[in-house]
């Protein structure tokens, strides 16, 4: 790659030179930002909005399906997820969740997302295994035996139809069973 661009780590590094940052032939790379930290405790306004979160879950669930409040967990700054026990058949140990957020200096929560999440005690499916790794030699052996039996059964059924057709032609009855009454 032929490029006339010079990469400058920070605008302060060009102090003392005649060319300023952003001049032709110079690309300025801003300093790296640190990833935001996950807060250690939930936002107090959002943590107190338990009934607001419950009402959000009740938009997708029946009242009898939403149990006790499990807790409020911080996801980011001004973002909290409330969890409620789920009373659903087949979802033992699962929790309903409602994620709430608010704008800076705002006092009203906003419902961002609701759904179901597994807890530590939930029954989960085993990890997915590709088909090629899942099939065993004995699986294909039983399939082959079943294929032979079904092939024999289908030839017998075809043969019986053929025999009844020969009988009809021998007796001279050419009407098929699909013919309309009256011979038409």
Q: Does pLDDT of 147 surpass 80?
A: no
For residue 124, the model assigns a pLDDT of 84
Query: How much is the pLDDT for 101?
Result: 96
Looking at per-residue confidence, does 120 or 168 come out higher?
120
CA–CA–CA angle 113, 64, 118 (5° rounding)? 50
Structure confidence at residue 94 (pLDDT): 96
36-95: pLDDT as tens digits = 666 678 889 999 999 999 999 999 999 999 999 999 999 999 999 999 999 999 899 999
Among the ranges given (4-13, 118-127, 136-145), the one the predictor scored with the smallest mean pLDDT: 4-13
Q: What is this structure's pTM?
A: 0.52
Task: Count the Cβ atoms, other than its own, within 10 Å of residue 47.
Answer: 18
Q: Which of 50, 119, 55, 47 is nearest to 79 (CA)?
A: 47
Q: Is pLDDT above 90 for 146?
A: no
Q: What are the residues facing 110 on neighbouring strands?
A: 101
């Amino acid at each position: 790659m032929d490029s006339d661009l010079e990469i400058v780590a920070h605008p302060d590094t060009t102090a003392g030179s005649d060319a300023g940052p952003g001049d032709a032939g110079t690309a300025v790379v801003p300093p790296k930002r640190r990833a935001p930290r996950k807060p250690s405790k939930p936002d107090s306004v959002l943590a107190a909005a338990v009934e607001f979160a419950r009402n959000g879950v009740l938009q997708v669930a029946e009242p009898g399906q939403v149990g006790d409040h499990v807790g409020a967990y911080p996801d980011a700054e001004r973002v909290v997820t409330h969890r409620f026990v789920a009373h659903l058949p087949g979802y033992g140990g699962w929790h309903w969740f409602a994620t709430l957020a608010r704008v800076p200096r705002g006092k009203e929560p906003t419902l961002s997302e609701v759904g179901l999440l597994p807890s530590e005690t939930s029954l989960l499916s085993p990890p997915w295994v590709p088909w090629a790794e899942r099939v065993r030699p004995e699986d294909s052996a039983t399939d082959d035996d079943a294929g032979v039996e079904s092939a024999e059964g289908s030839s017998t059924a075809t043969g019986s139809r053929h025999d009844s057709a020969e009988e009809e032609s021998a007796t001279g009855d050419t009407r098929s069973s699909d013919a309309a009454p009256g011979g038409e």
